[in-house]
Structure 1
Amino acid sequence: MTIEYKNTHEFSEQDLKDLFLSVEWSSGHFPDKLIIAMKNFKTVISAWDGEKLVGMICAMDDSIMNAYVHYLLVRPEYQGKSIGRELVERVKVIYKDYLRVVVVAYNEELAFYEHCGFKKADDASPMFITSLWT
């Protein structure tokens, strides 16, 4: 298995739908919106096994100080093969001169992100609101 990493904002709806639904993310039900989102992210790095989209990381930034990792996902059958770690490392290189790279992680993901060099904030908690129509 050879994984190719690409910096691209162009994806098919089917590729995005398949990837997002493979990890049971509800965003996969809206591939038309994901197409637009991918074009609007500042940084999108994807992982491919041949023609198959197997992972991606997306980040937004303020162009000088703070970057925010919004998506990091890897198909379940490709997890444990260092693809997620490689995607994170590539984002860290892009944002190496920024003061902060922020990621919101679920509890079961903390060990992975800590392994990638992130530290859990003791004085902060993630908050969000989800539209009722999704």
Structure 2
Amino acid sequence: MIRYISALDDIGAGQLQGFFVGWPRPPAPETFLRLLQGSYRVILAVDGKRVVGFIQAISDGVLSAYIPLLEVLPEYQGRGVGSELVRRMLEELSDLYMVDVMCDPETQPFYARLGMQRAVGLIVRNYDRQSGT
């Protein structure tokens, strides 16, 4: 049974395996844990002791938040885990003026189904820094 948690107290780097599929330079599990620890809000989907999905937000805590990462392990996709993570995070951030997500066009319908609106944005990507080291 999948449970959703917001605390990282009992989470170790060894539980953060299998994410960032297709990334040429994914963060190491230790770097991934630091990324989660530095977030404004985090929600994890956990099956037993295994982390099977996560969402994070960074924020000023006053007006705005950004959701940079949402991932669900491939074998757990299609079960509503990602949708539940987004719903829970939007609830956590509901007191803020704006919550933004930048995503590829093929994932926009997923977020739109959850109440988000399409917008135009600009980005910079330093792919040589993708691993976070």
- TM-score category of the 2 structures, normalised to the smaller one: 0.7 to 0.9
State the alpha-carbon separation in 1 of the partners of residues 38 and 70 from structure 2: 16
Identity %: 30
Alignment correspondent of 1:129:
125
Give 1:13 shift. 2.0
Give 1:133 shift. 5.1
Cα distance change on mapping 1:32 and 1:26 into 2, 3 Å: farther
* Greater helix proportion: 1
Unaligned 5+ segments in structure 2 are none
Number of residue pairs aligned between Structure 1 and Structure 2: 129
Give 1:132 shift. 2.7
Tell whether the 8 Å contact from 1:73 to 1:84 is kept in structure 2 after alignment: yes
Unaligned 5+ segments in structure 1 are none
Deviations 1:55-111 (A, max 9, x none): 000001111110110110001111111111111111111111111110111111111
Alignment correspondent of 1:12:
12
CA RMSD of aligned residues (A): 1.8
Answering whether residue 28 of structure 2 is matched by residue 39 of structure 1, we say no
Question: Which structure 1 residue ranges, 4+ long, deviate > 4 Å from structure 2?
Answer: none
Tell whether the 8 Å contact from 1:7 to 1:44 is kept in structure 2 after alignment: yes
Letter in 2 for 1:14: G
Cα distance change on mapping 1:26 and 1:56 into 2, 3 Å: farther
TM-score, normalised to structure 1, is 0.86
Give 1:119 shift. 0.9
TM-score, normalised to structure 2, is 0.86
Letter in 2 for 1:12: G
Tell whether the 8 Å contact from 2:15 to 2:49 is kept in structure 1 after alignment: no
Alignment correspondent of 2:23:
25
SS of equivalent to 1:44: strand
Tell whether the 8 Å contact from 1:19 to 1:28 is kept in structure 2 after alignment: no
Give 1:36 shift. 1.4
Looking at both structures, which has the greater relative contact order when contacts are Cα pairs under 8 Å and sequence separation is at least 6? 2
State the alpha-carbon separation in 1 of the partners of residues 3 and 53 from structure 2: 10
